[in-house]
């Protein structure tokens, strides 16, 4: 750990998947890094999401970043010395009507025109080949057959451990009260009044990132949300794919141990000041109904757990990635809007490149924070 | 403390009570006297809780066999039945919101009630006893044997009782009286216990009836020829597909007692699922070796209008539970403005209180004095019957999480990797993620992590508890009516 006043190359705020990944990739590039985390690594959305490693159905601007990240997922053990529970599996969005299937056909055409071929149409028979237990009324689907899923906490913890092994300092249970510039350095004043110094600053504070951006002098309307998930008892093996619906929120997968994780967009209450979340069963009943509609076998399942983690959402549901528009040597990667887990390995690599070299080839312009400056929207 | 509202816009009742044991029943009776509308939800099909289980149905011989302390539950249950509270038996509460709305399941369908205040009277659970072989068929708990006896009059033959605590002796005597004495009683309290208890003896003498009862039980077992092994250590259950024998050391000698029924017991601990769900503050009680909710003098938790009465507030037994129920209900009535708030003043006798000749301040003082008197035995019992070190810090190869089959050694390895607390260990190993929601492994996992990190258990803390508190059918959730019903279905 650096002594008082001695500057590290990079100060990361937030030890979620994005903070840990950026720290690891920066350390690989030879930078000295300190990560400050107000709770513990992976305490919020990074450690308690549904674990989908999904390229399917992404915002068109996210597709190149998601593809880059997938390359890292495919060799994740080489990177972090832990398999992160990553398993290849098809990701499938089930179409319940012909209209929904037509939307998917248009999507595939758009992607193909941009040179992306990872998403394909499943007809009625192909859908049943991948999902034998799907309900009769489902007509087909959209699939990305070489996606997968992983264990979120195991993954974030593995990135943290590998980063630590390469010399990264983690200050956990340490809240940053204020960030400010002094000369050419960034200073972070922490809870006990002491100050951590870095030459560059990276804001990976998720739902709490808006306040940091404000201290840099720019606006980022990040909203704290609490996506909810349910887990059932162990059921006989019936599903290999990670499944979503098209016209209603759902994320559905059967884990190797037989339990089924059901989530997908319905939100509870988030209280970022106390780290609290509250499940809203009046909402979750709709999730339960959707799961039973798509997979009648679920009628006999029992819910044994539910959970939620606080996540940062942007008004346009895509993240902020890139340099600060107003402060020198400050960067942002937050607001992944409940679909950032898969992008963690890749965006961390891109941020480390950008911070170390001042340049990246990755197409991050659509994610600039300037889109929220006054008059930009 | 939280951004969530703490009051329901249209509560169905002034007071909701979870649990119809001595604390819940006494609280309901007291709250009804103060004019509150009260709803009581309980999992069993009749009032009584664990201590007075099946009290209304248990007559004649069986009630005599179970003793006068059990019979004391009958008038309480009768008063509860007549008190005018809405009583919902067979109701499993599976969620409590911060606004004190309760989702509960009853005969396959879920409903919702809400209160302006909540008294959690969900009592105690037996301390889980992670020993080698504790998951084998044929291994049960002393509490489970007692349920069989109270509810069905069934007693297994040739059982070996292993562990410590007053309940172990009580069940042994009850089995003796029923004609099926245990094959042996193996007590695992450590040999230093006697030295530890001596400072507490003067306090215990103030609760002489309890002490005398304990000594009498031990004499009766000895007279009946039930072998008592005191100071046993390294207990384990042997067997391939089911329990075949209990093995333990005593004074350096290994004993092996063949049996196919083993009942384990290491005392009881507060059931903290609901208080954890509501994120009430908890503190480690070093004397009881468990977490207890942080409560003020009137049993209110750190969450406004949420109270805990009974053994959930810390183990105190049935008499204390009923007293606590009354204290909590009186305080709810004060807060809701249906009783006059008055600070405790002079001490008064119970006789004066029951004659109605005293002020509410005197009622308070009397209740608090009765509570102090009944609690006098506790430090003695807690020192004498501390759970064995073997259970508090199980050996590496011992399973601690039965649902996900995680050993103590795996938990220690996760700590060595850097996992700072139970929630990280849970996320990393799946310990505590099974259907029991961590009830069986929570204390052991917190204890193992605390020991490995050299920290106090309340520093490493406990699992975050999420709904459903009990497994809930997905189809039942899918048909949930989101509107609270004023008239709870009966």
Contacts with A157 from chain B: Cβ below 8 Å: 417-419, 424, 427-428
Q: How far is A84 from chain B (nearest CA, A)?
A: 10
B214 shares a domain with B115: no
Cβ B84 vs Cβ B231: under 8 Å: no
pLDDT reported for residue B206 = 67
> Is residue B238 packed enough to be buried (19+ CB in 10 Å), middle (13-18) or exposed (0-12)?
middle
Name residues of chain A where pLDDT drops below 70.
Answer: 1-5, 374-377
ipTM comes to 0.88
Q: B307: domain CATH number?
A: 3.50.50.60
Say which residues have a Cβ less than 8 Å from residue A47's Cβ, sequence separation at least 6: A16, A41, A152, A153, A156, A157, A309, B424, B427
pLDDT reported for residue B374 = 86
B245 shares a domain with B137: yes
Other Cβ atoms closer than 10 A to B194: 13
pLDDT reported for residue B383 = 82
Last residue of a domain, one of B330, B355, B384: B384
Domains of chain A: 8-48+153-222+315-372 (3.50.50.60), 88-147+227-308 (3.30.9.10)
B158 shares a domain with B114: no
B252 shares a domain with B175: yes
Q: Looking at the domain assignment, is residue B94 inside a domain?
A: yes
Other Cβ atoms closer than 10 A to B441: 30
Q: How far is CA B409 from CA A349, B87, B395, B401, in A?
A: 35, 46, 7, 11
Q: Looking at the domain assignment, is residue B363 inside a domain?
A: no
For the record, the structure tokens of B152 come out as 């069905």
Could you tell me which residues of chain B have a Cβ less than 8 Å from any Cβ in chain A?
1-4, 95, 97-98, 103, 279, 417-421, 423-424, 427-428, 430, 433-435, 437, 466-468, 471-475, 477-480, 482
A167: DSSP letter: T
Helix (H, G, I), strand (E, B) or coil at B356: coil
From A352, A303, A311, A290, select the one nearest A135 (Cα to Cα): A290
Angle between helices A63-73 and A344-357 (to 10 degrees): 100
In DSSP notation, B195-237 reads HHHGGGHHHHHTTHHHHHHHHHHHHHHHHTT--EE-S-EEEEE
Owner of token pair 């998601």: A66
Would the CB atoms of B437 and A304 count as touching at under 8 Å?
A: yes
Mean pLDDT taken over chain B: 87
Question: In angstroms, rounded to a whole number, what is the distance separating the alpha carbons of residues B107 and B289?
Answer: 36
Q: Looking at the domain assignment, is residue B354 inside a domain?
A: no
Mean pLDDT taken over chain A: 95
Would the CB atoms of A157 and B433 count as touching at under 8 Å?
A: no
B216 shares a domain with B141: yes
Q: What are the respective helix, strand and coil percentages of chain B, to the nearest 5?
A: 40, 20, 40
Angle between helices B317-335 and B360-374 (to 10 degrees): 150
Total domains in the fold of chain B: 3
B278 shares a domain with B241: no
Would the CB atoms of A274 and B2 count as touching at under 8 Å?
A: yes
Q: How far is A285 from chain B (nearest CA, A)?
A: 4
Question: In angstroms, rounded to a whole number, what is the distance separating the alpha carbons of residues A319 and A334?
Answer: 6
From A15, A17, A13, A26, select the one nearest A351 (Cα to Cα): A26
Q: How far is A292 from chain B (nearest CA, A)?
A: 7
B216 shares a domain with B113: no
Say which residues have a Cβ less than 8 Å from residue A219's Cβ, sequence separation at least 6: A213, A372, A373, A374
In DSSP notation, B72-114 reads THHHHHHHHHTS--EEETT-EEEEE-TT-EEEEEETTEEEEEE
Q: Looking at the domain assignment, is residue B80 inside a domain?
A: yes
Q: Does A284 touch chain B if contact means CB atoms closer than 8 Å?
A: yes
Cβ A73 vs Cβ A148: under 8 Å: yes
Per DSSP bridges, beta strands A140-149 and A87-95 are antiparallel
In chain B, what is the greatest distance between 2 CA atoms, to the nearest angstrom?
Answer: 66
Would the CB atoms of B474 and A304 count as touching at under 8 Å?
A: no
Q: Does A40 touch chain B if contact means CB atoms closer than 8 Å?
A: yes
Phi, psi of B416 (to 5 degrees): -65, -30
For the record, the structure tokens of B95 come out as 């969620």
Would the CB atoms of B474 and A303 count as touching at under 8 Å?
A: yes
B306: DSSP letter: E
Question: In angstroms, rounded to a whole number, what is the distance separating the alpha carbons of residues A150 and A157?
Answer: 12
Contacts with B468 from chain A: Cβ below 8 Å: 303-306
* Degrees, nearest 5: CA angle B457-B459-B461: 65
From A76, A257, A241, A78, select the one nearest A156 (Cα to Cα): A76
CA Rg value for chain A: 21
B408 shares a domain with B335: no
pLDDT reported for residue A1 = 43
Q: How far is CA B471 from CA A206, A230, A253, B467, in A?
A: 32, 11, 19, 9
| β-bridge mates for residue B236, sequence order | B247
Q: Looking at the domain assignment, is residue B488 inside a domain?
A: no
For the record, the structure tokens of B40 come out as 């009581």
Contacts with A42 from chain B: Cβ below 8 Å: 424, 427
pLDDT reported for residue A4 = 52
For the record, the structure tokens of B384 come out as 């004498």
**Which of A153, A302, A306 is nearest residue B473 as measured by Cβ atoms?**
A302
Q: Does A305 touch chain B if contact means CB atoms closer than 8 Å?
A: yes
From A26, A17, A33, A114, select the one nearest A69 (Cα to Cα): A17
Q: Does A195 touch chain B if contact means CB atoms closer than 8 Å?
A: no
Question: In angstroms, rounded to a whole number, what is the distance separating the alpha carbons of residues B420 and B418?
Answer: 6
pLDDT reported for residue B59 = 73
B214 shares a domain with B183: yes
B229 shares a domain with B117: no
Question: In angstroms, rounded to a whole number, what is the distance separating the alpha carbons of residues B73 and B363?
Answer: 22
Helix (H, G, I), strand (E, B) or coil at B141: strand
Alpha carbon B341 to chain centroid, angstroms = 31
Q: B410: domain CATH number?
A: 1.10.10.1100
Contacts with B4 from chain A: Cβ below 8 Å: 269, 271, 276, 278
Domain coverage including residue B405: 393-460
Would the CB atoms of B466 and A305 count as touching at under 8 Å?
A: yes
Name residues of chain B where pLDDT drops below 50.
Answer: 1-6, 340-357, 486-490
Q: How many helices (H) and strands (E) are present in chain A, helices listed first? A: 9, 21
Question: In angstroms, rounded to a whole number, what is the distance separating the alpha carbons of residues B38 and B11?
Answer: 11
Q: Looking at the domain assignment, is residue B132 inside a domain?
A: yes
B151: DSSP letter: I
Would the CB atoms of A154 and B427 count as touching at under 8 Å?
A: yes
pLDDT reported for residue B487 = 46
B438 shares a domain with B321: no
Question: In angstroms, rounded to a whole number, what is the distance separating the alpha carbons of residues A70 and A162?
Answer: 19
Indicate left, alpha or beta for A90 from its phi (over 0: left) and psi (-120 to 50: alpha). Answer: beta
Question: In angstroms, rounded to a whole number, what is the distance separating the alpha carbons of residues A364 and A63?
Answer: 11
Question: In angstroms, rounded to a whole number, what is the distance separating the alpha carbons of residues A5 and A45?
Answer: 32
B251 shares a domain with B172: yes
* Degrees, nearest 5: CA angle B152-B155-B157: 155
Q: Looking at the domain assignment, is residue B471 inside a domain?
A: no
For the record, the structure tokens of B137 come out as 């068929």
Interface test with B, best of A257, A285, A287, A290 (most B CBs within 10 A): A285
Question: In angstroms, rounded to a whole number, what is the distance separating the alpha carbons of residues B185 and B172?
Answer: 8
Q: Looking at the domain assignment, is residue B350 inside a domain?
A: no
Q: How far is CA B401 from CA B142, B239, B394, in A?
A: 20, 20, 12
């Amino acid at each position: 750990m650096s002594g008082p006043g001695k500057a590290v190359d990079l100060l990361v705020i937030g030890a979620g998947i994005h903070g840990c990944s950026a720290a690891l990739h920066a350390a690989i590039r030879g930078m000295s890094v300190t990560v400050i985390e107000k709770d513990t690594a992976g305490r919020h959305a990074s450690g308690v999401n549904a674990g989908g490693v999904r390229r399917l159905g992404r915002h068109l601007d996210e597709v190149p970043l998601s593809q880059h990240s997938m390359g890292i997922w495919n060799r994740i053990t080489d990177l972090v010395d832990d398999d992160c529970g990553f398993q290849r599996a098809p990701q499938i969005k089930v179409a319940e009507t012909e209209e929904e299937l037509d939307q998917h056909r248009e999507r595939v055409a758009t992607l193909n025109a941009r040179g992306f071929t990872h998403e394909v149409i499943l007809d009625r028979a192909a859908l049943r080949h991948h999902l034998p237990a799907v309900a009769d009324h489902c007509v087909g689907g959209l699939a990305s057959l070489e996606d997968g899923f992983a264990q979120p906490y195991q993954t974030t913890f593995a990135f943290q451990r590998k980063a630590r092994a390469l010399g990264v300092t983690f200050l956990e249970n340490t809240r940053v009260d204020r960030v400010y510039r002094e000369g050419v350095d960034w200073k972070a004043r922490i809870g006990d009044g002491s100050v951590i110094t870095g030459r560059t600053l990276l804001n990976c504070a998720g739902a709490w990132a808006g306040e940091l951006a404000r201290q840099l002098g720019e606006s980022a309307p990040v909203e704290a949300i609490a996506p909810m998930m349910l887990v059932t008892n162990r059921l006989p093996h019936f599903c290999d794919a990670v499944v979503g619906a098209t016209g209603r929120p759902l994320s559905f997968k059967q884990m190797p141990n037989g339990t089924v994780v059901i989530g997908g967009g319905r939100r509870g209450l988030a209280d970022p000041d106390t780290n609290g979340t509250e499940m809203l069963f009046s909402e979750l009943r709709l999730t339960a109904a959707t799961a039973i509609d798509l997979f009648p076998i679920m009628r006999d399942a029992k819910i044994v757990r539910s959970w939620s983690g606080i996540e940062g959402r942007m008004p346009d549901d895509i993240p902020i990635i890139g340099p600060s528009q107003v402060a020198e040597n400050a960067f942002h990667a937050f607001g992944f809007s409940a679909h950032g887990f898969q992008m963690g390995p890749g965006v961390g690599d891109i941020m480390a490149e950008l911070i170390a070299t001042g340049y990246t080839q990755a197409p991050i312009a659509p994610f600039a924070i300037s889109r929220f400056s006054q008059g930009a929207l | 403390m939280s951004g969530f509202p703490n009051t329901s816009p249209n509560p169905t009742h002034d007071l909701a009570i979870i649990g119809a044991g001595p604390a819940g029943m006494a609280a309901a009776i007291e709250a009804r006297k103060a004019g509150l509308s009260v709803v009581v939800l309980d999992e069993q099909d009749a009032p009584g809780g664990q201590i007075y289980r099946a009290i209304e149905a248990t007559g004649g011989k069986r009630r005599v066999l179970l003793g006068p302390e059990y019979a004391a539950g009958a008038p309480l249950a009768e008063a509860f039945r007549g008190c005018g509270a809405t009583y919902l038996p067979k109701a499993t509460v599976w969620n409590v919101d911060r606004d004190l709305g309760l989702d509960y399941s009853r005969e396959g369908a879920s409903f919702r009630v809400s209160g302006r205040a909540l008294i959690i009277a969900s009592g105690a659970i037996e301390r889980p006893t992670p020993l080698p072989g504790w998951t084998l068929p044929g291994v049960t708990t002393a509490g489970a044997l007692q349920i069989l006896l109270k509810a069905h009059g069934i007693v297994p033959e040739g059982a070996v009782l292993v562990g410590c605590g007053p309940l172990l002796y009580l069940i042994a005597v009850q089995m003796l009286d029923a004609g099926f004495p245990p094959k042996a009683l193996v007590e695992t309290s450590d040999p230093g216990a006697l030295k530890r208890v001596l400072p507490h003896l003067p306090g215990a003498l103030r609760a002489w009836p309890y002490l005398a009862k304990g000594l009498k039980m031990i004499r009766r077992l000895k007279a009946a020829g039930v072998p008592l092994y005191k100071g046993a250590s390294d207990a384990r259950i042997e067997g391939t597909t089911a329990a075949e024998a209990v093995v333990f050391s005593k004074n350096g000698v290994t004993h092996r007692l063949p049996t196919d029924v083993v009942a384990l017991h290491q005392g009881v601990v507060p059931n903290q699922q609901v208080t954890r769900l509501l994120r009430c503050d908890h503190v480690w009680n070093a004397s009881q070796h468990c977490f207890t909710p942080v409560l003020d003098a009137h049993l209110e938790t750190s969450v406004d209008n949420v109270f805990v009465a009974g053994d959930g507030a810390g183990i105190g037994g049935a008499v204390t539970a009923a007293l606590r129920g009354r204290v909590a209900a009186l305080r709810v009535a004060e807060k809701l403005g249906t009783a006059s708030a008055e600070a405790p003043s002079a001490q008064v006798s119970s006789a004066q209180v029951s004659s109605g000749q005293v002020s509410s301040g005197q009622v308070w003082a009397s209740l608090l004095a009765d509570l102090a008197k009944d609690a006098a035995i506790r430090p003695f019992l807690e020192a004498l019957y501390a759970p064995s070190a073997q259970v508090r810090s199980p050996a590496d190869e011992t399973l601690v999480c039965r649902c996900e089959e995680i050993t103590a050694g795996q938990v220690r390895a996760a700590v060595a990797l850097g996992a700072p607390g139970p929630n990280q260990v849970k996320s990393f190993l799946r310990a505590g993620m099974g259907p029991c929601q961590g009830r069986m492994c929570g204390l052991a996992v917190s204890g193992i992590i605390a020991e490995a990190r050299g920290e106090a258990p309340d520093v490493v803390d406990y699992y975050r508890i999420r709904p459903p508190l009990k497994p809930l059918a997905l189809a039942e959730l899918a048909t949930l009516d989101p509107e609270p019903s004023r008239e709870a279905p009966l």
